Amino acid sequence: MIYAARRHATPEHGVAVVRIALPLTGIDDALGRARLFLLVGVAVAIAAAVAMAAFGTHLLTRPVRSLTEAALAMAGGNLAVHAPAQGTDETAQLGRALNRLSSELLSAIEELRDERDLLASILDGMNEGVLVTDGDARIVLANRALRGMTLVGEGSLGKSVIEVIRNASLQEALDRADTSSEAIVREVELSGLMPRKLLVRVSKLPSRKDRDRGANDRGLIAVFHDVTDLRRLETIRTDFVANVSHELRTPVTAISTAAETLLAGALGEPEEAAEFVDVIDRHAKRLRQLVDDLLDLSKIESKNYRLVLVEQDVIPVVGHVARLLDEAAKRRRVELRIERAEGPLPARVDRRAMEQVLMNLLDNATKYAGEGAHVTVSAQARAGGGVEIRVIDDGPGISPQHLGRIFERFYRVDAGRSRDLGGTGLGLSIVKHLVELMNGTIDVESTLGKGSTFTVRLPPTGERASRDRG
């Protein structure tokens, strides 16, 4: 309740007090409603403010979130993504900077990928083997040429060199290069299925990072040059020079000795003088034959020996050579026979080369078959096409261990007997080269005590010669 009182004076009653009482229920209700309205209004205002603030924040941070997402995508390797770059504010500038950075990184990566592919193609196309190891002496690269030289598989990556290529000399070169500032060069010889001689140059890999921190555990690069064929050719050249020197020394010494004897007084004794002149004549002829054979072999091997392959009948060639050697065969008491087909035997040959082939084969046969032997030259058509010419003797034959090398230069089955008979050791080598230049093949079969057979096979005339030699 709320009360109100007022003092009031009247003439009749004197001082009087007037009091009024009013209940507060309505006021309390009005105040409650007012408070409720106020609270609701405040709550609505706060909610609206929060919503507006959230919306404004969302609008303001959306470019930042987009930039963050783009930056995370770029960091993850997706350089194709583009950051928002509209506008002129700071976020737009940051977006443009990220896009430019992404574009430059993408371009740099493409260039690096192209360089990597180019380097891989170069390494795989090299004839030299390349081996690269890391600071822990583990293989990180072995190109195709090296794998072919050493029969190393692609599974060698990550292994140590000694696990893959078991060669003490190579490992010693790698160890020395690891502790040296200079390149180390070694020639190593690999055994196994493919024996090879390799010239290896090992040096440290340049590394700026390692140089900056002064580290000594940089990787190594080894370059392998296959010198197997070069060393083999050097050996052949050395042997050839030694053989030529030996072959030349014998007739030159004989001629010199005979001439000195004649000059010392033998000229006054006709019988002895004639004997020494005969020595000079025989050894001069042998020397001339040796020089001629050397020149022929040199021209053949240097591709300067001109062959003109013409389709012609080989029967006349066989008959002509047999007639030329018939007298020599009779002097050696050897019977020379010819067996040939009834009709012509056409083949693409060079007549001069074919005559030289048959001359050498028949001359060897009549020389080494021995007195009373028989030498037969047979010319027949091959079942599959082409011509087969065989020179057969029933002499002492050739031991099996000599058959594989009989066509080598200066190789002799019986060196002493060959020199006595005037052989140079080059005839069969020349024969093999000439037959191959006429696209044919030659082989030999022999049995000790029963004789030897040399077989020349010429291709059918329909097969054109693959090359002419000049």
Structural domains in the chain, CATH included, are 126-206+216-226 (3.30.450.20), 233-300 (1.10.287.130), 303-458 (3.30.565.10)
Per the model's pLDDT, the better-predicted residue between 466 and 256 turns out to be: 256
Distance CA 148, CA 194 (A): 10
Helix (H) / strand (E) containing 214: none
On whether the CB atoms of residues 136 and 106 are closer than 8 A, the answer is no
Task: Say if residue 218's pLDDT is above 90.
Answer: no
Q: Which of 37-51, 243-257, 272-286, 454-468 has the lowest mean pLDDT?
A: 454-468
For residue 112, the SS3 value is helix
Average pLDDT over residues 364-383: 88
Q: Look at residue 53 in the predicted model and tell me its pLDDT.
A: 84
pLDDT value, residue 419 = 47
Q: 205-209, 285-289, 298-302: lowest mean pLDDT where?
A: 205-209
**63-87: average pLDDT:** 75
What's the pLDDT band for 417 if we cut at 50, 70, 90?
very low
- Give me the pLDDT at residue 441, please: 93
DSSP 138: B
Is the pLDDT higher at 78 or at 324?
324
Read off the tokens for 163.
């696990």
61 confidence band (pLDDT: 50, 70, 90): low
Strand partners, 346: 313
67: pLDDT strictly greater than 80: no
Distance between CA 278 and CA 417 in Å, rounded? 19
Which has the closest alpha carbon to 393: 409, 413, 414, 371? Answer: 371
User: At 442, is the pLDDT very low, low, confident or very high (cuts 50, 70, 90)?
Assistant: very high
Q: What is the pLDDT of residue 454?
A: 93
Rounded to whole angstroms, the Cα distance separating 251 from 420 reads 11
Confidence of residue 414 (pLDDT cuts 50, 70, 90): low
Q: What is the DSSP letter of 305?
A: -
pTM: 0.52
Which pLDDT score is estimated for 470? 40
Long-range contacts of 244-247 (CB under 8 A, 24+ apart): 244/294, 244/410, 247/290, 247/410, 247/424, 247/425
Report CA torsion sign: 183, 184, 187, 191. Answer: negative
> Residue 211, Cβ neighbours under 10 Å: how many?
10
**Model confidence at 138: pLDDT above 50:** yes
The owner of tokens 């555990």 is 217
